Chains A and B, each alone.
Chain A
Amino acid sequence: MIAAQGPDSLIWWDWVGRHGDEILHKTLEHIYLTAVAVGIGLILAVMLSVCALRFNWTRSPIVWTSGALYGIPSLALFGFLVPITGASVLTAEIALVSYTLLVLVQNLLAGIEGVSPAVRDAADGMGYTASRRFISIEFPLALPQFITGLRIATVTTVGLVTVAALVGHGGLGDFINDGLKRNFSTPIMVGVIGSILLAVIADAAFVLLQWLTTPWLRRARR
């Protein structure tokens, strides 16, 4: 490899130039892995939360289990999964999904349980049915908290996808892993900067989404 700059330099731009296609491809893979994980996590979390709200006795086991999953270090979780599901996309997604659950469930529950009893009473008093009340009152009011949960889950997942490089499906993390193995800093930098950028963009996107979906929370202009 011929360096455009000195060998000391942390990033060789001509390497970056020559790997443009691969970088794009890995970025898309990164987004895809994140989206699938958060999507599945969301579906599971909604089901679990509804279950916890509907059947109160399931609440603590659900919260406890998602907390326990969240508490397992990522590398350890991959270590548990690889002997069973191998170094596959499935392994990567199982791990990623399990990390989203706690944050999503917690924020869903907190959002809905945080709706003030007075509002709930008022809705009941006006004759809302339970499901109607959920759809048109509780859910919209829980939305900000819920989007906060999605935001945290997404940003965390973007970071964790890099670790999935260890099972061969790490999006931009594959560059990091490759660079670490070859002790070559350019791909490391590409992976690091790329994944941080993705995280920051995802974060900003959710802030915008939150602003758009909760007009009643915007501060009135003077």
Chain B
Amino acid sequence: MTDNSLSVRESVGTAPAISIRGVTKRYAGATNAAVDSLDLDIAQGELVVFVGPSGCGKTTTLRMINRLEDPTAGSIHVNGTDVTEIDPAELRRSIGYVIQQGGLFPHQSVATNIGCVPRLLGWPKARIRERVEELIELVRLDPDLLDRYPSSLSGGQQQRVGVARALAADPPILLMDEPYSAVDPVVRAELRHELRSLQERLAKTIVFVTHDIDEAIDLGDRIAVFKTGGHLAQYSVPTELLARPDSQMVEDFLGADRTLRRLSLLTVTTAQLEPATATTPPLTIEASFSLRSTLDALLANATDLATVVDLDGSVLGVITLDAIAQIASGDPDSEPVRPWAAPRRKR
């Protein structure tokens, strides 16, 4: 392995990107374990969200993956290699790490910040510069910002720089610890959207920590709900989590409107559509609408029928309140569809 390559590479095949086995973490002097016999596999290319109340061990788990903390017991493998066999600094250079407000170095320009890991890896200057310019475009920042200091950027811009820095050496894995908690809700939604599309383009394995269940549902391919004491309460895809919470704790955590939330993850076409008849209902719904928006439209128009049309206007069928109710009351295996994924799917 040469000096300027990453120690962790994407492995071929279907082995999990990260595998956590029987991991317990007890901080010195603490009576209770921060993380308690945790078993968790994270598949290649998946965006997994750790969610749960504050203090339940999400950050600790994340930090054990890149060895900012070492487990008291158990083992962690990244792409098949036990992390304790890799030098911590080297391991971390091959795993992107993003924290709140990006954790940017205030005394370095944006460009220097982004080039941090490539510099550590000894890349030549020209290549670093080139990579930095590539990244700034990838995270949709104005190249004029490259020579500015982080403190002169907005929260959202800082966060984008943080992501660019984490991606600089093209690591296969990205760890993100509550990266958006200091950003206002509008920018937050935008950043989430961008992260999602970034992940679909780059196929990174991303572990994302948040305490916000909405953020988790919005982002995650798979969600790990932690409960106090460092236990894993449930690990499922969002729709299943919403349809079948394992325990009272998860149910409470999901909130009273979990059914509506699940409907917002499903498009109208996942429901059983009735064949269109000669007299189609006057209310029309586009196929990319979520079931929740459809329900909203039906209620607002005091009707129980609507015509579902394709983007080009051709009629696909008729959606009924009954069909939505059927989905709402069960059928957890229906595939989640996200608003931003919908256009891709059309192509």
Query: Is there a direct interface between A and B, measured as CB atoms under 8 Å apart in the complex?
Result: no
